[in-house]
Amino acid sequence: MDAAVNLVRENFRFPVDLLREAIEKHHPAITLACSFQAEDIVVLDMMHRLQPYTKVFALDTGRLHDETYDVAEQIRCRYGDIVEWYFPDKDAVQKLLGAKGLFSFRDSVENRVECCFIRKVEPLKRALKGMTAWVTGLRKEQSATRTQVAQIEVDKGNGGILKYNPLIEWTTQEVWAYVREHRLPYNKLYERGFTQIGCSPCTTPVFPGEDLRAGRWRWEQPEHKECGLHKDGSGI
């Protein structure tokens, strides 16, 4: 990485050191949530170097971009069949679509949160069953809703297990410096102006000067732009 980048910040630990400690403490009951965004792939690479058998999971909402599946396949080819996929409950999806149609998430924040719960939050709870810790690629720079996120949190919403956010203080430049240095696969949507990549109907490119999370749920206010996966934590 660029030597001029200052990685020594108050109350901040180097991601690899934090991950090493987390793996030593929790393996095999620790897992990485991978959405195949650049941050998650950086963390996946770090964890794989430390412990190749660390668990990794992904949530297939049923509405991901083709480009996301493309990079997921590149990850499989590079690291092996390490990602365990979780899917929403079929009956819950059918009930939602039957009652409210295909695009109810555009009608209100409440409807969008309902869709996210079915497609993301409930599968997450299954993915974390039996775990004592999980790892994310969250960064403070990503949005106004993440500025208070700590590097280590107690995840109250998932039974009080620990949640590690090793890149929380990293900048976009640091993430991409790592991607380039290690020649990691990345989602080609980044080359089309995307800065945050989620479900296809809910993600658009970001224009110069906009917030990094502006392309997620573009019709909503910034303070609402979380899907429910990252709530109810307290730093330690």
Is the residue at 3 inside a domain?
no
Domain assignment of residue 43, yes or no: yes
1 located within any domain:
no
Could you tell me the CA-to-CA distances from 121 to 35, 89, 201 in Å, in that order? 13, 11, 18
Q: CA 142 to CA 36: how far, in whole Å? A: 16
48 CB neighbour count, 10 Å cutoff = 18
The reported pLDDT for the residue numbered 8 is 37
Residues designated catalytic: 227
CATH of the domain at 33: 3.40.50.620
Mean pLDDT by 10 residues, the chain (236 residues): 39 85 98 97 98 97 97 98 98 97 92 94 97 96 73 94 96 96 97 93 89 77 61 59
pLDDT of the residue at 83? 98
Which residues constitute the domain of residue 110?
15-235
Structural domain contains residue 8: no
pLDDT at position 3? 38
Give the predicted TM-score (pTM) of the model. 0.87
Listed residue (211, 62, 195) closest to 186, CA to CA: 195
Question: Looking at the domain assignment, is residue 10 inside a domain?
Answer: no
Tell me, what's the pLDDT at 235? 59
166 preceded by cis ω (within 30°)? Answer: no
139 falls within a domain: yes
> Is the residue at 117 inside a domain?
yes
155 and 235 Cβ atoms separated by less than 8 Å:
no
What's the Cα-to-Cα distance from 82 to each of 148, 193, 197, rounded to whole Å?
A: 31, 29, 21
Surface-to-core class of residue 175, CB atoms within 10 Å of its CB (0-12 exposed, 13-18 middle, 19+ buried): buried
Rounded distance between C-alpha atoms, residue 218 and residue 222, angstroms: 9
Is residue 4, in this structure, part of any structural domain at all? no
Structural domain count of the chain: 1
Report the alpha-carbon angle 175-113-58, nearest 5: 45
pLDDT of residue 231: 64
**Residue 7: its pLDDT value, please?**
40
The pair of structure tokens assigned to 213 is 């999370």
